[in-house]
Structure 1
Amino acid sequence: MPRFALKIEYDGGPFAGWQAQANQPSVQGAIEAALARLDPGFADGARIAAAGRTDAGVHATGQVAHADLQKNWDEFRLAEALNWHLKPAPVAIVAARRVPDDFHARFSALERRYLFRLVSRRAPVTHDRGLVWQVLQPLDAQAMREGAAHLLGLHDFTTFRSTMCQSASPVKTLDQIDIEEVAMPHGREFRFTLRARSFLHNQVRSIVGTLERVGAGSWSPERVATALAARDRAACGPVCPPHGLYLTGAEYPDDPFRD
């Protein structure tokens, strides 16, 4: 059975998350339903695997999944056919690539990348409603960068993970956390870019919610280090909402989408 990797974009707003759930709309379920129109295996209940299981309301611009199909599709035609059958769901197959049988969207990934969009402005956002987290107060980007620096590297991130996290260990290495400040009409947008081999449940949202408190002046940058060292969920700042978060990509030893 030929294996195909799929690069996927989606608006997470209408979905209960990536993972298929009984009686709940999911991104995985939408793609598998489209595949069932094209492939007998999926009509019989075959499943796809993804690089990351995004939560309800979280978006993606570079989710990666793989599917084993019975037909050896032309890559372009597979993407076109899936996009046709995905209508009108806000899900798009950006590209499809034939990959070796040992490629696995989750277990072959060397890293995941996330973007969080935070807007600071008094007037409500209109065009980006549901796509950014908006706060009303001004934020200090440099203070947030100083707080974020304490989180880089190998740490026990117990403070910054959900109590429902199923990861075997809270110890992770955060390879990158950059904060870009962008002017917008009557406000500022702050774009947080985070990169790691893997993330804990709610880790990114916990980090950004905490750094927002630093930017607002409620926390000092040094308090982030204190919270991290506490290894206590109660020491975390507020967890920010999901609709500002995007899974932007996954890196592989031989990236099928590099071209």
Structure 2
Amino acid sequence: MRNIKLTIEYDGGRYLGWQRLGNSDKTIQGKIEAILTKLLGTTTEIVGSGRTDAGTHARGQIANFKTNSTISLTEIGDVFNHQLPRDIVVKKVEEVPERFHARYNATGKKYSYHVWNNSIPSAFERHYSFHFPEELNLDLVNQACEKLIGTHDFIGFSSLKKTKKSTVRTIKELSITQEGSLLHFTFVGDGFLYKMVRIIMGTLLEIGTGKMELASIDEIFENKTRSEAGMTVPSHGLFLDEVYYN
């Protein structure tokens, strides 16, 4: 049995997210599986490193599937990139050990979120950044980023309902770079809860405008209450950049 690993890039704007949905063909997983099943002549499922929400993009999503087919890696890649929609690209096809699992073996992820911080919107950045016209105090935003780095229970920064699984996560990096009006926020951590990056982003922006206090972060960690955190920013500014493995 061969185990094939895929590195995938996609523009999520037209899709309902990564995860296959039984009543729709507008998912990334569904598009890839449909081509694989036709190519291999048998129903084939792929395992992703994790779900991305409707509208979220990826530069480095990872998935794997198993097959008994002897088809070459080059042919698999060629078929994908001839038959997939142009907004989904398989950048790399590799054979990996049979025990490799895209989700269970992941040790961390890197996300980025992009904000167009100008009173005038951008015609070119509108699909890949959140237009936020209000003036931001970036010193305050950087201080807030520093408070979020480390190991914490992030349930208050998530849309998760009650769960028996641990909601403790470690953020290793949360940084900002600026390119004119475009702000790039980088998140690196061992894992992220449902909508965690988008809620943290909303909180950072509200702290940067003075709508929330810097001390609110400590209160959210202590009270574990979603309603105390900031807005959930739109998904179209979010990218899954990389998935880490040992």
Per the normalisation by structure 2, the TM-score is 0.94
- Structure-2 separation of matches of 1:167 and 1:65: 26
Structure 1 counterpart of 2:240:
247
Structure 2 counterpart of 1:29:
30
Q: 1:103 aligned to 89, 92, 100, which one?
A: 100
Structure 2 counterpart of 1:124:
121
Q: Write the letter of the residue equivalent to 1:190.
A: L
Matched, 1:211 2:204: yes
C-alpha deviation, 1:21, in angstroms = 0.6
- Structure-2 separation of matches of 1:176 and 1:207: 13
C-alpha deviation, 1:103, in angstroms = 0.7
Q: Write the letter of the residue equivalent to 1:7.
A: T
Q: 1:63 aligned to 61, 66, 72, which one?
A: 61
Query: Over residues 40-93 of structure 1, what are the superposed CA-to-partner deviations in whole Å (9 max), with x where a residue is unaligned?
Result: 23xx3x2100112001111100000001123233323321211111134x1000
Q: In the TM superposition, what are the counterparts of 1:1-20 in structure 2 within 5 Å?
A: 1-20=1-20
- Structure-2 separation of matches of 1:19 and 1:84: 22
Q: Which runs of 5 or more residues in structure 1 are unaligned?
A: 254-259
> Which has the larger displacement, 123-132 or 104-113?
123-132
RMSD over aligned Cα atoms: 1.5
Matched, 1:221 2:218: no
Structure 2 counterpart of 1:93:
90
**Helix, strand or coil: the match of 2:199?**
helix
**Helix, strand or coil: the match of 2:14?**
coil
Structure 1 counterpart of 2:184:
191
C-alpha deviation, 1:166, in angstroms = 5.4
Q: Write the letter of the residue equivalent to 2:160.
A: T
Query: Over residues 162-181 of structure 1, what are the superposed CA-to-partner deviations in whole Å (9 max), with x where a residue is unaligned?
Result: 03475712211111111112
Aligned pairs, how many?
245
Structure 2 counterpart of 1:174:
171
**Helix, strand or coil: the match of 1:159?**
helix
C-alpha deviation, 1:227, in angstroms = 2.3
- Structure-1 separation of matches of 2:162 and 2:112: 20
Per the normalisation by structure 1, the TM-score is 0.90
Matched, 1:142 2:144: no
Q: Write the letter of the residue equivalent to 1:18.
A: W
Percent identical pairs in the alignment equals 31
Matched, 1:159 2:156: yes
Q: 1:50 aligned to 48, 51, 66, which one?
A: 48
Query: Over residues 97-132 of structure 1, what are the superposed CA-to-partner deviations in whole Å (9 max), with x where a residue is unaligned?
Result: 111101111111111110111111122221122211
**Helix, strand or coil: the match of 1:77?**
helix
Q: Which runs of 5 or more residues in structure 2 are unaligned?
A: none
Structure 1 counterpart of 2:70:
72
Q: Which runs of 4+ in 1 moved over 3 A?
A: 163-167
Whether the 8 Å contact between 1:40 and 1:70 is mirrored in structure 2 is no
Structure 2 counterpart of 1:133:
130
Whether the 8 Å contact between 2:140 and 2:207 is mirrored in structure 1 is yes
- Structure-2 separation of matches of 1:112 and 1:222: 27
